[in-house]
Amino acid sequence: MSEEQFELVQGSGNVYRDFGDVDADVRQAKALLAAEIIKVLEKEDLSKIWVKTPSFYDGFS
């Protein structure tokens, strides 16, 4: 291991803002929304049903 020193920096809580993205707040909101959707899909075990349903692909029920 190297004896190199690292500077610790406190983040803002928004990685997009920390890296200077111009749409940081929008990207953060989208990421948080996607995470919540995924959480609900997994909790309700819906992600497997979606993929296996033929009507999801062809539009017919």
Query: What does the block give as tokens for 53?
Result: 């349903």
Query: By percentage, how much of the chain surpasses pLDDT 90?
Result: 44
Cβ atoms of 16 and 23 within 8 Å: the answer is yes
37 is a domain residue? yes
How many C-beta atoms lie closer than 10 Å to residue 18's C-beta? 13
51 is a domain residue? yes
10 is a domain residue? no
4 is a domain residue? no
- How many domains is the chain partitioned into structurally? 1
- Determine the 3-state secondary structure of 15 from DSSP: helix
48 is a domain residue? yes
40 is a domain residue? yes
**Can you give the residue range of the structural domain that contains 43?**
15-58
Query: What does the block give as tokens for 55?
Result: 């009507």
Name the band, by pLDDT with cuts 50, 70 and 90, for residue 23: very high
Cα separation, 44 vs 39, in Å, equals 9
Predicted confidence (pLDDT) per residue in 34-48, tens digit: 999 989 888 887 766
1 is a domain residue? no
